[in-house]
Amino acid sequence: MVAKAANKDKAVAPSLLSCERKINVSDAVFQAGTWNFKSSISQEGQSADGFTPIPVVEKSVRGTVSNRVTARSRLNVEAANLQTVDSASLPRGKDTLLVSFSVRILPGLGQTSSCNDGIYKAGLSRIVEEYQAQHTLSVLALRYAENIANGRFLWRNRIGASDIEVVVTRRTNAVGKTDTWRFNALDYSLKFFNHECHKECHKVRSLAEVFIEGLTSPFGVVIDVNAFVRIGDGQEVFPSQELILRKPSETFRKGKVLYNIDFKGINTVAFHSQKVGNALRTVDTWYPSSTKAYPIPADPFGAVTSEGLAHRDLSSKEDFFTLLDEWVLDGKRPSEGNQHFVMAVLIRGGVFSRGGMKMMEAYQDIIVLEQAQSEMGNPLLTGKAMEGLHKAFVSISGLRIGVSFPLHTENDIGGHIRLHGKASDLERLSKCKGMSHLDDYLDISEFQPTPAEHRFQNVRRVQSKSNPARVRRRIMRNLNVSEEEALKIYPDSKKQILRLPYFLIDSASTGQKSIRVFVKHTMPLDRHADGDFGSYGLSPVATVPLF
């Protein structure tokens, strides 16, 4: 009995906890010029003479079917794959790409933007103070600085470049002058951090001091970053690609959409701020690994989506939430490397609440293949997938999985089903073969950790409550009137028409075919609501993560 009481009173993480991001990055705009003009960058880091915005260009191309298919596939692999795509390249006569962005480094590490547990809040402040007293943020600051010096934020544009110079400018400092750092990015490795032994380590250390100042001073610091990349005359460049969350029209589908912003009156290609930020926070080499660890982004579960891996999954006991709670609640200090990792995630910021994280810690995507969408339609194929899920939800006891449809529109359910739940529940569901007959039409992903930064949404089934015949029978029964009188009271004109997305199912119990299941997604919510999910993963109350 004592053990039970102790367990009942055990402190837990708050149901409301979030921290603001401390390193804020702007979008990174792409410009074109020549290597000889790279020295023309202004002292304020704002412009470079001779460099012009790189516009997005639309191309129509004729390709081939190149994805894997099965012997039973209905895809016509010998047919041409016609598509329209966005593209961006340096103009003729230009051999250098200029990527420009700013970084705002803010104080307040360890301060919560929301927390409903004063004890936990005080404990979080305590561990941050202890960490800063011991490490002075120098380890992380050096890695942030080197990720700028090595040009990691250039991503694919770094590969094959003959020359890369990164120019960092601090707009103003305490004495009113401008500081500038210049780095040869190719002197630095992306596979490991070498600021300790590099010949220009004094530059990296000097830039790292700016990060420390920004994270600890009252007002923060702003720096400008300009990277000159010599890639060759007229070569293609690689900005961010847009993720299309809404179904394109049937008459026009673009295969690739590049991110672009209005810069100097031109639709100029650019990196998303998130992509640049991901590169800057690629500092984690302390995760569990049987081989020498390479740097990965500091994320709660150590997720590397390009590899389909989570290096710090829950089973490792070295995920952010486990380490943080043990440190704050139990006083169990992590290893030195994991202390750096915890601080890096706090600098990253996010929603760390217990309520939405524990029960919805992972997700899995089921996507209807594009050609199958055009042949059979989303309502039918999504419905067939939902029938398989329905059977699994009913047959597997104890499952608690919510469903959402990220690509839904006002009247189309979209070809994308997202499952939300515990990793253990999704793993149990994956062993069920209820959708194996749809292998040629569906792409089912591995389950992944839910992103730390997300909001919430309720996804519910909506049924029409105004079926005229049913309502009239109720009137006849309750009011003891004739059918003719009931028709006058409730004519067919009162029938409710639902303008919502839906999927089609067949009823196994009644034999009725093509029943429409209407689905409503609420507006984004800031708080998680608990509740039960029905046999289709929908709920009138409970929310699922929205990202």
Which residues fall within 8 angstroms of residue 161, CB to CB, at 6 or more apart? 154, 186, 229, 230, 231
The predicted structure's pLDDT at residue 435: 65
Question: What is the predicted pLDDT for the residue at 263?
Answer: 92
Task: Give the pLDDT of residue 81.
Answer: 67
* Closest to 235 (Cα-Cα) out of 58, 93, 55: 93
Residue type, 345: V
Q: Which two tokens stand for residue 17?
A: 């906890």
In which residue are the tokens 């590969």 written? 159
Q: Which residue is it, tokens 């990196």?
A: 271
Q: Which of 239, 261, 280 is the last residue of a domain?
A: 280
Residues ≥6 apart with Cβ < 8 Å to 431: none
537 shares its domain with 411 = yes
The tokens for 259 are: 């991110």
Residue 233 located in a structural domain: yes
Task: Name 350's bridge partners.
Answer: 19
Q: Is the residue at 92 inside a domain?
A: yes
Asked if 400 and 275 sit in the same domain, the reply is no
CA 416, 421, 422, 424 torsion: positive or negative?
Answer: negative
In a domain, 239, yes or no: yes
Say which residues have a Cβ less than 8 Å from residue 238's Cβ, sequence separation at least 6: 88, 155, 156, 157
CA atoms of 356 and 370, how far apart (whole Å): 32
Residues 284, 305 contacting (CB under 8 angstroms): no
Residues 387 and 510 in one domain: yes
Q: Which of 340, 25, 23, 17 is nearest to 193 (CA)?
A: 340
Q: The CATH number of the domain where 397 resides is what?
A: 3.30.70.2540
DSSP state of 49: T
Q: Are residues 58 and 161 in the same domain?
A: yes
Dihedral angle of Cα 222, 351, 338, 302, to the nearest 10 degrees: -100
- DSSP per-residue letters across 196-226: TT-TTHHHHHHHHHHHHHHHHSSS-EEEEEE
Q: Where are the beta strands (DSSP E) in 399-541?
A: 402-404, 416-421, 442-444, 448-449, 455-462, 502-505, 515-521
Task: Copy the structure tokens of residue 53.
Answer: 């915005």
The residue among 280, 313, 342 that closes a domain is 280
Q: Based on the fold, state whether residues 276 and 390 are members of the same structural domain.
A: no
* CA-CA-CA-CA torsion sign (294, 297, 301, 306): negative
Known catalytic residues? 390
Phi and psi for 275 in degrees, rounded to 5?
-70, -40
Q: Give the range of the structural domain holding residue 185, as residue numbers without chain letter.
A: 19-69+76-110+136-280
The two structure tokens encoding residue 139? 């380890």
Structural domains of the chain, count:
2
In 3-state terms, what secondary structure has residue 343? helix
Q: Examine residue 310 and state whether it is found in any structural domain, yes or no.
A: no
Query: Does residue 39 fall inside a structural domain?
Result: yes
Q: Are 496 and 464 in contact (CB under 8 A)?
A: yes
Note the pLDDT tens digit of each residue in 417-435. Answer: 999 988 888 888 887 766 6
The set of residues, in sequence order, having a beta carbon less than 8 Å from that of 225 and lying 6+ positions away, is 45, 100, 101, 102, 103, 148, 153, 166, 167, 168
pLDDT of res. 6 = 34
Whether residues 389 and 503 share a domain: the answer is yes
Residues of the chain under the 50 pLDDT cut: 1-9, 42-45, 250, 356-357
Q: 23 in helix, strand or coil?
A: strand
d(CA 221, CA 102): 11
Whether 35 is covered by a domain: the verdict is: yes
**Rounded to whole angstroms, how far apart are CA atoms 197 and 521?**
55
Element (H, E) at 326: helix 320-329
Say how many C-beta atoms besides its own lie within 10 A of residue 464's C-beta: 12
Does 125 fall in a domain?
A: no
pLDDT of res. 5: 32
Determine contact, residues 158/191, Cβ cutoff 8 Å. no
Q: Computed from CA positions of residues 211, 216, 217, 221, in that sequence, does the dihedral angle turn out positive or negative? A: positive
Is the same domain home to 242 and 368?
no
Residue 217 lies in a domain: yes
Domain final position from 252, 280, 308: 280
Do 433 and 536 belong together in one domain? yes
d(CA 248, CA 267): 21
380 and 238 fall within a common domain: no
Radius of gyration, CA atoms only, the chain: 28
Helix axes 138-149, 273-280, angle to 10 degrees: 120
Residue with tokens 């579960």, as numbered in its chain: 301
* Euclidean distance between CA atoms 534 and 334, whole angstroms: 40
Question: Could you identify the residue written with the tokens 């010599």?
Answer: 230
**Model confidence over 358-386: pLDDT tens digits?**
578 888 898 888 766 666 667 787 888 88
Instruction: Give yes or no: residues 255 and 384 share one domain.
Output: no
